[in-house]
Amino acid sequence: MQVKDTMCTDVKTCKADTPIKDIATIMCFNKISGMPVVDDDNNVVGIISEKDILCSMFPDMKDLVESGAKADFEEMEKDYGSVLGKTVDDLMTRVVASVSPDMPILRAASMMWLRKIRRIPVTENNKLVGILSMGDVHKAVFQESLLVNKS
């Protein structure tokens, strides 16, 4: 089974200049945890995730340890409004792994597992053509096993 057999082609994307407030809205209303960042030519230039957004609220741990201060998590939570004023470019992950449509899905899943990510863009010549999630892989393998067991 190949990535192209399993990937989702209806991918929500954003641009680097998109406000985080808009991204948070899209993620919450569509129940997605991340999306590829593309340029005007549909080239993948990054990825933005809930993790990127939430981690931006945490202080630099090295600075925290060196200063001897304690983390005030309740105060951090109140600071979420300042994060919403940022753009995707401020928080996105710029080095993005991707897979090709012709790659075996378990090879793609192993790449996601090694990188500790739950979704990976599917590209052809750096152009976004889909996205593959661990859930997509699991569903495909499960359905395939049902067909094999039926025979």
How many CB atoms sit inside 10 A of residue 128's CB?
Answer: 19
Q: Hey, where are the domains in the chain?
A: 3-150
Question: Under CATH, what is the fold of the domain 3-150?
Answer: CBS-domain (3.10.580)
Is a pLDDT exceeding 80 seen at residue 104? yes
Is a pLDDT exceeding 80 seen at residue 63? no
pLDDT reported for residue 115: 94
CA distances from residue 64 to 60, 72, 132 in whole angstroms, order as listed: 6, 11, 37
Give the pLDDT band of residue 82 (cuts 50, 70, 90).
confident
Q: Which residue has the higher pLDDT, 72 or 20?
A: 20
| pTM (two decimals) | 0.82
